[in-house]
Chain A
Amino acid sequence: MNAVYILWLRQLKRYFRSRARMIGSLGQPTLFLLALGFGLGPTFARAGHGDYVQFLAPGIVAMGILFTAVFSGIEIIWDRQFGFLKETLVAPVSRLKIVLGQTLGRATVALIQGSIVFLVCLAAGFRPAQPLLLPLALLFMALIAIMCTAIGTVVGSVLQDMQGFQLIINFIVLPLFLFSSALFPVPDLPGAVRVVVQLNPLSYGVDGLRGVLTSGFVFGVATDFAVLGGLAAILLAIGAYLFSKIEV
C-alpha cells in the first residue's frame, strides 16, 4: 500500500511542479467553452434549447479530464525514455501496485484539472442547477478520470515512442470527445450518429455530469454510473496487464 501511495504522490508532485503543463492543458477547454459557448449560443437559444453555456459546460469539464487523462499516458513513455521506469520495474513491488499507484496519481491530476476547468466554466457564467449535488458531480468526474487515465495507461504501455501519440489524439481522443454529446444534445440526433454517441463510453460521463449539474439525464443516472464504473474497471485491468508486459 505504501508503494501505491508513494507513486501516487510522485504524480501529484510532478503535476504541481509543472505549471506550464497545468496552464497549457487548460487552454484548449477554455477556448472551446468561449468560442463555441458564445459563438453558437444565440443559434442554440433560437432553436429552443436554452442557454448553450449552461448545456456545454459539463461537456467541457469532461473534455478537460479526457485530454489530461489520456495524454498522461505519455508519462509512461517519458518514464521509459528517461529511465525511471526501470527503477520501478526492478523494485520488490508487484507491477500491479506500480501501475495502480501511477494510474491513480494521474487520475487524481486529471480530476484536479477537471475541477479547474469547472471553475473556469463558473467564471464564464455557468451555474449548476443544484449545488447540493456537487459531490455527486465530483464522483462522476472521478470515474471519467479513472476511465480515461486507464486508456492512457493502455496507450502508454503499448507505444514504444512519442511518434505514435499524434495518432492517438486523432483516432482516440478527438472522436471520443466529438461524439460524446459534449457539444450537442442527443435526442435530436440522426440515427447513425446517435448510435455512435451511445457506443462512446465518454457519453455516459458527459450525461452523468450534465444530469447532475443541470438536471436532465438522457441515459439515466444508474446507467451512466454502471457503464462508467464497469468500463473504468475493465480498462484498468487491461492497462495493468499491458503495463506488466512492458520490457525494458
Chain B
Amino acid sequence: MVGKMMAAIIEARDLVKRFDGFTAVDHISFAVEAGVIFGFLGPNGAGKTTTIKMLTTVLAPSEGRLWIAGHDPVKEPLLVRRAFGIVFQDPSLDGELTAAENMELHGVLYGVPRADRRARVEALLRFVGLWERRDDYVKRFSGGMRRRLEIARALQHRPRVLFLDEPTAGLDPQTRNQIWEFIRGLCRDEHVTVFFTTHYMEEAERVADRIAVIDHGRIVAEGTAAALRQQTGGRTLEDAFITLTGHSIREADATPVDRMRMMRRVWLGRR
C-alpha cells in the first residue's frame, strides 16, 4: 500500500461529491503515476471539473480519500496547493496587470524566493514566447497568449503536478498544437505530472499516456488510448468515447458565472 502511494502522485479512493441530493462524483478511484500525462475525459456534466475542484482543494469531498504528492487536500490544503499548478477552464489572469506583474503576483503568493523569481520568470516567459511582451497589459493579449501565460504562471513555483482544465477550449488548431507542444516540452524539462481534461479527442489521443473516461460521476474506462480503442472496437478514441458514453447530449444548468460571462460577451462583444 505504501509502495503504491509512493509511485502514484495523484490518488483518489472511493471519491464522492454530492450537491443537495445530486451525486456529481460517485465513488471514483484512480491513480496517476509521477511523470505521466493523464487525460480525464467525459461529456459535459460528467463530473470532470468537480473532480478537479476536489483535487485542487477548492471543494471538499463528501466521502473518500485523496492524495496529491502524498498530502491530503482536506487536511493539508496549503501543502497540496504548493505541490500543484493549475490552468483553469476560464481565464484567471488580471487583465489590468502586465504579464510580468501577473507572474510576480503569483510568485509572491507562492513564496517563490525573490532571487529565484527573476530568472524563473524570464526562463518561463521566454519558453512560452512572451518575454518581449512582458510589460504589456494582459487585456491586450489574444486567447492563445493568455493561455501560454497561464501555463507559464502555473509552473512558476515548480509544482509536481499540473492541472489543465480544458486548456485548449476555444482556441484555433494552430494555437492548440502550440500549447500542447509547450506543455509536452515543459513536462519533459520540469518533470511535471500533467492531469488534463479536454473535449478534443484527437488531442487526448495524441498527448495522453493514460486516459480515464468519466460519465455520470463514474469512471467507465481507464487505460491507454490504444487499449480504449481495442476495448470498444472503435477506430479512433472519439469512437471509443461515444461507445462508452452514448449519444445523448448533456445539458448543464448555467451558473451565475456563466450568466455573467454571457453578459460580458454581450457588453464587450468578445470573449
- Number of interface residues, chain B, beta carbon within 8 A: 34
Contact of A86 among B88, B256, B261, B263 (CB under 8 A): B88
Whole-angstrom CA separation of A2 from B105 in the bound complex: 10
13 CB < 8 A contacts A-B: A2-B108, A6-B108, A17-B96, A81-B257, A82-B91, A85-B92, A87-B106, A89-B58, A90-B57, A92-B79, A92-B111, A161-B256, A161-B263
- Closest residue to A18 on the B side, CB-wise? B96
Number of A-B contacts (CB under 8 A): 81
Interface string of A150-178 (1 = CB under 8 A from B): 00000000001110000000000000000
Say how far B134's CB is from chain A's closest CB, in angstroms. Answer: 15
Whole-angstrom CA separation of A63 from B79 in the bound complex: 44
Whole-angstrom CA separation of A94 from B78 in the bound complex: 8
A91 — which chain B residues lie within 8 A by C-beta?
A: 81, 106, 109-110
Q: Please determine whether B260 and A86 come into contact, CB atoms closer than 8 angstroms.
A: no
Q: Please determine whether B109 and A13 come into contact, CB atoms closer than 8 angstroms.
A: no
Task: Please tell me if B59 contacts chain A, counting CB pairs below 8 Å.
Answer: yes
Contact (A84, B111) CB under 8 Å given A162-B260, A247-B58: no
Q: Please determine whether B109 and A88 come into contact, CB atoms closer than 8 angstroms.
A: yes
* Sample of 4 further A-B pairs with CB below 8 A, known A10-B97, A17-B96, A83-B92: A6-B108, A7-B105, A10-B105, A13-B97
Whole-angstrom CA separation of A140 from B264 in the bound complex: 38
Whole-angstrom CA separation of A18 from B78 in the bound complex: 34
Q: Please determine whether A86 and B96 come into contact, CB atoms closer than 8 angstroms.
A: no
Task: Please tell me if B247 contacts chain A, counting CB pairs below 8 Å.
Answer: no
Task: Please tell me if B95 contacts chain A, counting CB pairs below 8 Å.
Answer: yes
Task: Please tell me if B166 contacts chain A, counting CB pairs below 8 Å.
Answer: no
The 10 closest A-B pairs by CB, nearest first: A83-B92, A160-B256, A91-B109, A92-B81, A6-B108, A87-B92, A81-B260, A92-B78, A83-B90, A92-B82
Contact of A83 among B88, B108, B259 (CB under 8 A): B88
Q: Please determine whether A13 and B81 come into contact, CB atoms closer than 8 angstroms.
A: no
Interface set of B (CB-CB < 8 Å, partner A): 56-59, 77-79, 81-82, 86, 88, 90-97, 101, 104-106, 108-111, 256-257, 259-261, 263-264
Whole-angstrom CA separation of A85 from B256 in the bound complex: 15
Interface set of A (CB-CB < 8 Å, partner B): 2-3, 5-7, 10, 13-14, 17-18, 77, 80-94, 160-162, 247-248
Say how far B13's CB is from chain A's closest CB, in angstroms. Answer: 22
Contact of B257 among A7, A80, A87, A94 (CB under 8 A): A80
- Closest residue to B107 on the A side, CB-wise? A6
A77 — which chain B residues lie within 8 A by C-beta?
A: 260
B57 — which chain A residues lie within 8 A by C-beta?
A: 90
Whole-angstrom CA separation of A87 from B78 in the bound complex: 14
Whole-angstrom CA separation of A248 from B258 in the bound complex: 12
Q: Please determine whether A90 and B256 come into contact, CB atoms closer than 8 angstroms.
A: no
Contact of A6 among B77, B104, B261 (CB under 8 A): B104
- Closest residue to A87 on the B side, CB-wise? B92
Q: Please determine whether A92 and B110 come into contact, CB atoms closer than 8 angstroms.
A: yes
Q: Please determine whether B92 and A84 come into contact, CB atoms closer than 8 angstroms.
A: yes
Contact (A161, B111) CB under 8 Å given A6-B105, A90-B86: no
B58 — which chain A residues lie within 8 A by C-beta?
A: 86, 89-90, 247-248
Whole-angstrom CA separation of A200 from B64 in the bound complex: 49
- Closest residue to A160 on the B side, CB-wise? B256
- Closest residue to B109 on the A side, CB-wise? A91
B94 — which chain A residues lie within 8 A by C-beta?
A: 10, 14, 82, 84
Say how far A78's CB is from chain B's closest CB, in angstroms. Answer: 9
Q: Please determine whether B110 and A81 come into contact, CB atoms closer than 8 angstroms.
A: no
Contact (A247, B106) CB under 8 Å given A2-B111, A90-B81, A92-B111: no
Q: Please determine whether B90 and A92 come into contact, CB atoms closer than 8 angstroms.
A: no
Say how far B256's CB is from chain A's closest CB, in angstroms. Answer: 4
Q: Please determine whether B59 and A247 come into contact, CB atoms closer than 8 angstroms.
A: yes
B257 — which chain A residues lie within 8 A by C-beta?
A: 80-81, 248
Whole-angstrom CA separation of A227 from B88 in the bound complex: 43
Whole-angstrom CA separation of A92 from B109 in the bound complex: 7
- Closest residue to A17 on the B side, CB-wise? B96
Whole-angstrom CA separation of A237 from B265 in the bound complex: 35
- Closest residue to B80 on the A side, CB-wise? A92
- Closest residue to B96 on the A side, CB-wise? A14
Say how far B43's CB is from chain A's closest CB, in angstroms. Answer: 22
Q: Please determine whether A81 and B264 come into contact, CB atoms closer than 8 angstroms.
A: yes
Whole-angstrom CA separation of A83 from B143 in the bound complex: 14
- Closest residue to A81 on the B side, CB-wise? B260
B261 — which chain A residues lie within 8 A by C-beta?
A: 81
Whole-angstrom CA separation of A92 from B78 in the bound complex: 5
Q: Please determine whether B256 and A6 come into contact, CB atoms closer than 8 angstroms.
A: no
